Amino acid sequence: MAHSKLKNLAYPMGECSFVSSAAVEAALSSSNCNSVAVFPGFCDVHVHFREPGFSYKETVATGSLASARGGYTAVCTMPNLNPVPDSVENLEQQLAIIRRDACIHVYPYGAITVGEKGEELADLEGMAPNIKGYSDDGRGVQSDEMMLAAMRRAKALGLPIVAHCEVNELLRGGYIHDGEYAKAHGHRGICSESEWGQIARDLELVRQTGVKYHVCHISTKESVELIRKAKAEGLDVTCETGPHYLIMDDSELQEDGWFKMNPPIRGREDKEALLQGVLDGTIDMIATDHAPHSAEEKSKGLEKSAFGIVGIETAFPALYTYLVKPGILSFERLRELLVTNPRKRFGIPMGSDYSVWDLEACEAVDPNQFISKGHATPFAGRMLYGKCLLTVCDGKIVYQQEDHHG
Ligand code: DOR
Ligand code: ZN
């Protein structure tokens, strides 16, 4: 006989035929909540798991388990590692760690250029069978010729260019948005053009090459407009933004490295344009840019801390609390943003992948409870709805709430 609580089981993003009622019952009976919501496995196309090279910041084991706790069953990892996956041999080092330690599906990107230095193309052909696309994330490809050559080869190989867009010349030592907060507090700002200037350059190259092109973490209103026009023109372009860009603006910054990431949280008009882009389909997906660093690296204030915040354990609760619950974003659209669109764009299959949540649970974000080794998040202390009880990947339980909180 079914567990009596199963009548309080909901599928807010739509039915998932592959859900095991036994697993859901187990989640229900082991928690003290009255109802649960089941979601198809989320997919994040932009995370940093830091292995090989920087395991003190995060490992594939901690990053993938943290993702499972966030309801994610598939992620794509960025190549700013040591060694950088820019050759078959270097990529194999990363793949071996993933095969050994990942509890969910982890798909690497290969670098566009050797060492992400922007000087020489990586072995795009050799890496192609084992990656989801090419990225020099963490920095923009400065040379037009280099990007054009990369796009031509990526086009021939049928894989996307996944672009971190940033014009180095325009950075001028900035580290937060070049807006009201920077002015008021005497900080050096990063102008919006450093992002959209390179998107505009790339779109011209996409026009010439026809490559599949995906823009990482867009943060400015001008970027939204450029991509809207490119789509109307019929270019094969997609893009992502992050929860923090949709929920916060620079008026909420604090004098703390936990508010520092690249690109930075922008102004109110940017936030509103991003939301509009999410609603009208210009922005295809939400990715976290989960970028863990050590406590020490994040403890040096806005100017001196490393760029990057964690996000994989708070993405769904933040989006649910700030956008879905108030009626700004529908669950249906959130499914497209977190599940269908990223999986379709990057060819990431869905097995029996789902997570089970108590949506009534509301807690202050406590980074000490994170599974991730990184604790820096601007959402620390914010009250968020949604607690993940269980995550299943390929029919196997990969996260269960009790495991973590004992
Ligand atoms: O904030 C960021 N952190 N932006 C990036 O582009 C890179 C990332 C990192 O690797 O820490
Ligand atoms: Zn980036």
- Strand order, beta sheet including 285-286: 161-163, 213-215, 237-241, 285-286
**% of residues, the chain, pLDDT over 70:** 97
For 30-54, the pLDDT digits (tens) are 777 888 999 999 999 999 999 999 9
In a domain, 380, yes or no: no
Cβ contacts of residue 211 below 8 Å, gap of 6+? 151, 152, 154, 155, 160, 161, 205, 236
CATH number, position 327 = 3.20.20.140
Q: Choose the weakest-confidence range: 24-38, 145-159, 266-280, 304-318.
A: 24-38
In a domain, 24, yes or no: no
In a domain, 356, yes or no: no
Task: Give the span between the Cα atoms of 288 and 241, in whole angstroms.
Answer: 8
In a domain, 17, yes or no: no
Probe residue for ligand 1, chosen from 45, 48, 166, 293 as the CB with the greatest number of ligand atoms within 8 Å: 48
Overall domain count for the chain: 1
In a domain, 183, yes or no: yes
Is 289 catalytic? The answer is yes
> Considering only CA atoms, which residue is closest to atom 7 of ligand 1?
138
**The domain containing residue 260 runs over which residues?**
39-348
pLDDT over 60 at 4, yes or no: no
Q: pTM score > 0.85 for this model?
A: yes
**Residue 257 CB–ligand 1 contact under 6 Å:** no
284, 289, 353, 358: the catalytic one is: 289
For 189-240, the pLDDT digits (tens) are 999 999 999 999 999 999 999 999 999 999 999 999 999 999 999 999 999 9
Probe residue for ligand 1, chosen from 261, 265, 298 as the CB with the greatest number of ligand atoms within 8 Å: 261
Is residue 53 within 8 Å of 81, Cβ to Cβ? yes
Task: Give the span between the Cα atoms of 273 and 196, in whole angstroms.
Answer: 14
For 315-345, the pLDDT digits (tens) are 999 999 999 999 999 999 999 999 999 999 9
Strands 176-177 and 189-190: parallel
